[in-house]
Structure 1
Amino acid sequence: MRLMIFLLALLSPGLAAADAKITLAECSAGGCRCALSGLTAEDMAVLTDNAMPKDAKDYVVLVDQGKLYWSPLSLEEIDRIAGGDGQCPLEVFYVPPPDNGQWQGKVRAQNIRGCPAEVEAMVPPLVAQMAYSGQVDWQGKFDPAKLVPTGVKQPVSWSERRPDLYKGSLIAPDGKGILQVSGDLTSVQMASDHISTTMQLRIAGKNPALAALGMKDCRVTAVYDYRLNGK
């Protein structure tokens, strides 16, 4: 299925005014389609493929072959470059529920900072193991809690913000270990065959000795792409 402009919501005027949302432009030969997303610049930053600019609210996020980029150009300029007439009125699109079938998860990007070298070496394979692949029956509604193997204890407490957007918190271990682990997640249905989940993980030592060894504030950011049939 062709990638549609996503992250769209039926925002109330009060919510939109309180926190500016980023505009998206999806272009092909002959022009673009444009829409107001349901995400702030900070939410959008973890999904884009270039660094968030300082004045992100004044930028457009360009959707190009499944990847997202911050662009300083106006919607009119972007549309003209794509071969359009320079007009790109904002639209609202309906994102249908995800398709049932075999889904495959992969790590698209990850960043590790503030961690000892030994931990840095351990993180990539652990992060990769958290990407679920398997059969999913969505039962007509997107829910990232379904992206775990059957019978496995749910590792994340999810909260629905919109039908296509969930925020989550990592369910911490029982506290008996020597490390304190916490994490925040954002899962977005990009299209009926594409889901993107971002995890921001923090690992810290529970005692001064571990902190002295570099386990004071270890942070990991990982972006997972889930696609139907691995497309």
Structure 2
Amino acid sequence: MPSSCLRTLLFSLPLCLSFSGALAVTVADCTSAAGCSCAPSPLTDDELSVTFGLDTPADTTGYVFVIFDGTGTWSQLSIEDIDITAGGDGSCAGQLQPEDGVWASSSKVNSVSCGSGTAMMQQILTGNLNREKPARVTWGGVFDGETFRKAWLAANPDPEASHPTWTRVSEIEVTSRDSLEGLTSSSRMVLLSPRSFRMDWDVEGRNEEGVCRWSVTSMVRKTGD
């Protein structure tokens, strides 16, 4: 959802984008001495690598993406061995659920296309990112976009905030669509571990100069209880 200040600035410029299809990669989220939870992720291998600042193996066949105490790595061990290494019984059981607590985001602009106004829009977007306050989120064991939106707005009030329509893709993935004042947006939230998720925003708008498009990716992490 663009903030009200960005909506205002947009109408001296403009915005669109779409997600690429994602391939299932097994992710093992592990905690020292407590074992792991394993689940297929809708993120591609490259998306997972970029999210955690890693290089992707040339061929990820047979690899598992492991998040161990919050640090990501690629492993050729079986999920059973990964779970045992982390102190589990080898079953890699347990549902991946977000933990209640204080969550903070770190965002970056992926792409901007606004014709002659591209450089200015890039500067506007970059200047308005990463200013939000962390939010206390009570998930209740369910990864839910509206739960996060309400908690985020409680910490960062915006009287012009929109109300997106959410769609549950799976227990660890939700998407949304929204339209307000000439803008359309779509988002995708993917739970990576009980303490982190990735959120991608694609936005499009139009003014007298034409169409403007941008995309933003946020890594959202639990930072405290």
State the TM-score bracket (shorter-chain normalisation).
0.5 to 0.7
Write the distance in 1 (CA, Å) between the matches of 2:56 and 2:109. 16
> After the TM superposition, which residues 130-209 of structure 1 pair with which residues of structure 2 at under 5 Å, given as runs?
131=132, 133-139=134-140, 141-146=142-147, 147=149, 148-150=152-154, 153-169=161-177, 171-175=178-182, 180-188=183-191, 190-191=193-194, 194-206=195-207, 209=209
Q: CA deviation at 1:23?
A: 1.9
Q: Is the 8 A contact 1:49 1:67 kept in 2?
A: no
Write the distance in 2 (CA, Å) between the matches of 1:163 and 1:111. 26
Provide the residue aligned with 2:215 in structure 1: 220
Write the distance in 2 (CA, Å) between the matches of 1:142 and 1:36. 14
For the residue of structure 1 that corresponds to 2:104, the secondary structure is strand
Write the distance in 2 (CA, Å) between the matches of 1:162 and 1:226. 20
After superposition, give the CA deviation of every residue in 1:66-87 in whole Å (9 maximum; x if it has no partner). Answer: 1334x3x5215xx69xx96xxx
For the residue of structure 1 that corresponds to 2:189, the secondary structure is strand
For the residue of structure 2 that corresponds to 1:128, the secondary structure is coil
Provide the residue aligned with 2:119 in structure 1: 117
> After the TM superposition, which residues 3-22 of structure 1 pair with which residues of structure 2 at under 5 Å, given as runs?
21-22=24-25
After superposition, give the CA deviation of every residue in 1:88-112 in whole Å (9 maximum; x if it has no partner). Answer: 956232235632x5x2322154423
Amino acid at match of 2:204: I
Q: Is the 8 A contact 1:35 1:90 kept in 2?
A: no
Write the distance in 2 (CA, Å) between the matches of 1:65 and 1:157. 33
For the residue of structure 2 that corresponds to 1:37, the secondary structure is strand
What is the CA RMSD across the aligned residues, in angstroms?
4.4
Write the distance in 2 (CA, Å) between the matches of 1:91 and 1:139. 22
Provide the residue aligned with 1:105 in structure 2: 104
Provide the residue aligned with 2:3 in structure 1: none
Write the distance in 2 (CA, Å) between the matches of 1:187 and 1:25. 14
Write the distance in 2 (CA, Å) between the matches of 1:123 and 1:66. 28
Structure 1, unpaired ranges of 5+: 1-18
For the residue of structure 1 that corresponds to 2:130, the secondary structure is helix
Aligned-residue identity in percent = 14
Provide the residue aligned with 2:76 in structure 1: 74
Amino acid at match of 1:227: K
Q: Which has the higher contact order (CA 8 A, sep 6+)?
A: 2
Write the distance in 1 (CA, Å) between the matches of 2:167 and 2:28. 28
Amino acid at match of 1:160: R
TM-score, normalised with respect to structure 2:
0.60
Provide the residue aligned with 1:10 in structure 2: none
TM-score, normalised with respect to structure 1:
0.59
Write the distance in 2 (CA, Å) between the matches of 1:221 and 1:52. 22
Q: Is the 8 A contact 2:172 2:191 kept in 1?
A: yes
How many residues get paired? 192
